[in-house]
Chains A and B, each alone.
Chain A
Amino acid sequence: DTGVSQDPRHKITKRGQNVTFRCDPISEHNRLYWYRQTLGQGPEFLTYFQNEAQLEKSRLLSDRFSAERPKGSFSTLEIQRTEQGDSAMYLCASSSWGGDKITVEEKLFFGSGTQLSVL
């Protein structure tokens, strides 16, 4: 399977603990996005990478959140000192962006997400 994979699928943690999620994009994709989806809501943009560079971060991404994409391949999202409000599904998506031109053909491929529950 060459789709976007996320690990773990589920994570239960106690408030105050640190957690880390991993996303493996489709191998030739240069862009990688993180979204957060809470119950009854649509996904909300958190951050995105183009290759290894983190180019934009949402205001939703507090100082307790950090994302990396070393070598422009897989990405990790870490949440420090988790709070109950962090409980959500964290979705990763990847795409292949062809350069500085307007295109609608940049299709996002989503993973199945990591469901985080903070007790």
Chain B
Amino acid sequence: AQTVTQSQPEMSVQEAETVTLSCTYDTSESDYYLFWYKQPPSRQMILVIRQEAYKQQNATENRFSVNFQKAAKSFSLKISDSQLGDAAMYFCAYRSPVTGANSKLTFGKGITLSVRP
């Protein structure tokens, strides 16, 4: 079974600064997908960024980028130019390849990010 570990329960960043959220995972599969989700106080999970394990290039979405280290099974999220609206819980998630099976996600425990004005 796959596991996802987020060991930092909380982090804080100054507005406009850069912050990195850590995530490690364990799997015996060679192909898989990794995600970062944001959960604001409204509780709705929002997809931030995703990474295919077979791609060596790190995914980037505007101010959000990842550092994917497949050998180390590490998947960190970097948020640049932090904004007050980035304050939320962030979850790292793993998904096996979808080949007719369901695409259920395995989530980490999450990290609470606060942004200081």
A interface residues with partner B (beta carbon < 8 Å):
3, 31, 33, 40-45, 48, 50, 55-56, 89, 91, 93, 95, 97, 100-104, 106-108, 110-113, 115
* Distance A48 CA – B105 CA, assembled complex (angstroms): 11
**Chain B interface, number of residues (Cβ within 8 angstroms):** 25
Check if B98 sits within 8 Å of A110, measured CB to CB: no
Of the candidate stretches B38-46, B60-68, B80-88, the one touching chain A is B38-46
Interface centre among A50, A97, A110 (most CB of B within 10 A): A110
Q: Which residues from A are CB-within-8-Å of B4?
A: 42
Is B107 an interface position by the 8 A CB rule? yes
Of all chain A residues, the one with the shortest Cβ separation from B52 is: A104
Check if B98 sits within 8 Å of A43, measured CB to CB: no
Shortest CB-to-CB span from B68 to chain A, Å, is: 14
Known pairs A42-B93, A100-B99; A112 contacts B47 (CB<8 A)? no
Known pairs A102-B98, A104-B52; A111 contacts B44 (CB<8 A)? yes
Known pairs A43-B45, A91-B45, A112-B43; A106 contacts B103 (CB<8 A)? yes
Interface centre among B33, B50, B93, B105 (most CB of A within 10 A): B105
Of all chain B residues, the one with the shortest Cβ separation from A110 is: B45
Check if A106 sits within 8 Å of B106, measured CB to CB: no
